[in-house]
Amino acid sequence: MSVVAETEVEVREPSAARGVRRRSAAKKTSRKPVPNKVQNVLWARAAGRCQYAGCNKLLIGEQISGARNANKSYIAHIVGDSPEGPRGDATLSAKLAHDPDNLMLVCDEHHRVIDREMVDAHSVDVLREMKRRHEDRIRVVTGIDEDLGSHVIRYAAKIGANESPVAKSDLKWSMIPQRYPLDDGWIDLDLATLDLRDDDPNYWPTHIRNLRSVFGEKVRGRMGRQEIRRIAVFGLAPMPLLFELGRLISDIATADVRQLLRDPKGWKWDPSAAPVEYDVRRPDRIDGVVALKLEISAPVVDERVRSVLGPEAAIWSIAAAGAHNDIVRRPKDLAAFAKLFRKTLDDIKLVHGESTTLNVFPAVPVSIAVEAGRSWQPKAHPPLAIYDQNWKLGGFILAHRLEHAN
């Protein structure tokens, strides 16, 4: 049964056929319309959107005519409202004709698909599952507290020759129900279109300069004016750039730094995952150049560090047991790393002196890189010289520095 009236075009027919049509129409119009209070329940459960899987079309308003309040909805019956209709049942049709659990709010296109064009493909079970999934989603989304709205920072840069897109559609559902993106809260720091290879000497200074400029323009001032109170951070970029992004955000802001999981692929946290076990390893010597390996995604062999810094380097390490590239799956893993990272920086400063520059060799997930940048305190911690692995240039190269003057 339709919520909006369907207009039929009159066609001349033989008198016998017209008689059949009149009897059929009389039979159809004799059915009682769905009561307004039942329609109201259905509309509330559907949030005014088509409940057909994958559609979600808003059923209020008509763009061509400009009628903002036009009602474009149809009501489809899961168990048909008559035994002779699609999915009709001799017993249940009359009983469930006005039951909101048996009704779906749909658009014109899917009303025709369900009841005319592809009836056999739309069983009672199929339609019930569509309705359940739609209404469950609406219940979750509309139950989110207004205070949980977040601005969303998207940052992507080329990793080697590969583009690093961070699509909106992949992000917003990963935030719900703990957070939700504000309508005007999307902040793009995307530099993936910058046409520089990472073995180009201008790559790092150009990216750092542009990141600072765009962040200052779009974020810093708004944070200072309290226009931005909570942010969700989604980044895909080389490690040194993510360290810098974290430094710009700092730990003053209320930030939810996210991680792209590989299996199953997506940005939604996996609270059922086992916690990451971190371990700090100290060097035997305290003199010489100081290095810190971050071995969260993979081990970093000491010889690779010494090939850059020399054989006398004093090498510290923060390592994850069973390091692999999909290991950080919970926000608690990030919080534990940040706490340990700050303490390790304090210990390095205490052991090696306040004038120490710490050379950092990261093999970490993107979220850890951002969190490390956020955790670094320019007035409390030693300057960081951050290295990046580049096979075209023969191994680790110095890419960026976090210094007190930044």
Same domain, 288 and 347: yes
Report the distance separating Cα 258 and Cα 282, nearest Å. 29
Residue listed under structure tokens 């507290």: 145
pLDDT for 2: 43
Structural domain includes residue 1: no
Compute the half-sphere exposure of residue 189: CA atoms within 13 Å on the CB side of its CA.
32
Measure Cα distances from 7 to 10, 73, 387 in Å. Answer: 10, 15, 70
Structural domain includes residue 366: yes
Report the distance separating Cα 269 and Cα 381, nearest Å. 30
pLDDT for 66: 72
Quick check: helix, strand or coil at residue 46? helix
Report the distance separating Cα 351 and Cα 370, nearest Å. 26
Report the distance separating Cα 12 and Cα 18, nearest Å. 8
Structural domain includes residue 6: no
Same domain, 20 and 61: yes
Q: Which helix (H) or strand (E) holds 399?
A: strand 395-402
Same domain, 118 and 27: yes
Quick one: CA dihedral 194, 197, 201, 207, positive or negative?
A: positive
Structural domain includes residue 369: yes
Nearest to 296 by CA among 266, 329, 270: 329
Token couple for 329: 């799956």
Report the distance separating Cα 18 and Cα 11, nearest Å. 10
Query: Mean pLDDT of residues grouped by 10 in the chain (406 residues)?
Result: 38 41 44 90 95 94 79 94 93 95 96 95 96 90 75 78 62 82 85 71 92 94 88 93 95 89 92 96 93 98 96 97 96 97 97 95 97 95 95 90 81
Residue ranges with strand state E in 72-201:
74-77, 103-106, 149-156, 180-188
pLDDT for 106: 97
Token couple for 343: 């303490």
pLDDT for 216: 94
Same domain, 108 and 236: no
Same domain, 135 and 183: no
Contact 286, 314 (CB under 8 A): yes
Same domain, 340 and 214: yes
Structural domain span for residue 310 = 146-402
Structural domain includes residue 79: yes
Q: What is the pLDDT of residues 360-402, one digit of tens each?
A: 999 999 999 999 999 999 999 999 999 999 888 888 999 999 9
- The neighbouring-strand residues paired with 318 are 280, 294
Same domain, 154 and 232: yes
Structural domain includes residue 4: no
Same domain, 176 and 88: no
Same domain, 309 and 237: yes
pLDDT for 159: 54
Neighbouring C-beta atoms of residue 369, cutoff 10 Å: 27
Quick check: helix, strand or coil at residue 44? helix
Domain count, the chain: 2
Q: Which of 81, 115, 142 is the last residue of a domain?
A: 142
Structural domain includes residue 328: yes
Specify the pairing of strand 180-188 against strand 149-156.
Answer: parallel
Token couple for 211: 């990141």
Report the distance separating Cα 43 and Cα 59, nearest Å. 10
What backbone phi and psi angles, to 5 degrees, belong to 275? -65, 150
Structural domain includes residue 393: yes
Same domain, 266 and 155: yes
Global confidence as pTM: 0.71
Token couple for 172: 């917003």
Q: Which of 121, 142, 163 is the last residue of a domain?
A: 142
Contact 88, 79 (CB under 8 A): yes
Q: What is the pLDDT of residues 53-106, one digit of tens each?
A: 999 999 998 767 778 888 999 999 999 999 999 999 999 999 999 999 999 999
pLDDT for 381: 96
What's the chain's average pLDDT? Answer: 87
Contact 208, 388 (CB under 8 A): no
Same domain, 133 and 153: no
Q: Which of 98, 127, 142 is the last residue of a domain?
A: 142
Nearest to 325 by CA among 298, 293, 302, 307: 298
Same domain, 285 and 270: yes
